[in-house]
């Protein structure tokens, strides 16, 4: 299990930390982890480093990140709208089939989010990771309270159904955005 934590934390660190001193700092973190530090310690160090990088990038390139997030929200909404018609147009579901609707909403959300993350990753390769993380944070801040409000205002018998369907959609969207927007990609060729 320690090895899995080391691999995941290393992957996240490499995606965000600037290349200039990445190897030195990562080597120090892994050396400390190898001497018996806990997985919690490693994650705390990596997440702190990632947050510092995200904050620095937003300060330096905020207009590009905000532009990318705005494009991402627009693309995500359009693709989810289109995917809804594709998924529900070919499937005949009854409103009471909560599990089936949850799966279909998950598929719809994942497909739209994966395409959005892919598009964002191609628009600004240098800041794609940052843009995707900020988009995911904005998406969660907006949708999670909305789902809570909706689930508490519907009839009690539908409350669990609404939560199930929306949880499927939210988790699929977050996973799709993170997977496609942060997937390793080759860097564009450098021109001299």
Helices (H), 17-38: 22-34
Reported as a single tens digit per residue, the pLDDT across 95-136 is 556 667 777 777 778 888 888 887 877 777 777 777 787 888
CA pair distance 99, 97, nearest whole angstrom: 6
Q: What is the three-state SS of 103-166?
A: HHHHHHHHHHHHHHHHHHHHHCHHHHHHHHHHHHHHHHHHHHHHHHHHHHHCCHHHHHHHHHHH
Q: pLDDT tens for residues 134-144?
A: 888 888 888 87
Q: Measuring CA to CA, which residue among 149, 172, 47, 161 is closest to residue 99?
A: 161
End-to-end CA distance of the chain: 45
pTM: 0.60
The answer to which of 15-19, 79-83, 93-97, 183-187 has the lowest mean pLDDT is: 183-187
Please state the domain extents for the chain: 2-181
Residues 27-53: tens digit of each pLDDT:
888 888 889 888 888 888 888 888 888
The whole-number average pLDDT for the span 51-80 is 81
Tell me what pLDDT residue 88 has: 63
């Amino acid at each position: 299990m320690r090895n899995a934590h080391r691999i995941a934390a290393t992957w996240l660190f490499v995606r965000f930390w600037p290349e200039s001193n990445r190897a030195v700092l990562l080597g120090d973190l892994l050396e400390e982890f190898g001497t018996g530090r806990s997985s919690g310690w490693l994650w705390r160090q990596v997440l702190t480093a990632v947050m510092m990088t995200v904050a620095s990038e937003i300060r330096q390139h905020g207009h590009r990140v905000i532009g990318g997030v705005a494009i991402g929200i627009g693309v995500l909404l359009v693709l989810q709208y289109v995917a809804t018609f594709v998924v529900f147009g070919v499937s005949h579901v009854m409103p009471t089939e909560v599990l089936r609707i949850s799966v279909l909403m998950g598929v719809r959300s994942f497909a739209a989010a994966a395409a959005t993350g892919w598009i964002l990753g191609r628009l600004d390769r240098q800041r794609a990771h940052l843009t995707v993380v900020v988009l995911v944070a904005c998406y969660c801040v907006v949708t999670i309270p909305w789902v809570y409000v909706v689930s508490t205002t519907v009839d009690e018998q539908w409350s669990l159904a609404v939560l199930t369907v929306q949880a499927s959609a939210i988790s699929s969207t977050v996973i799709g955005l993170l997977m496609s927007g942060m997937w390793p990609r080759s860097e564009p060729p450098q021109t001299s």
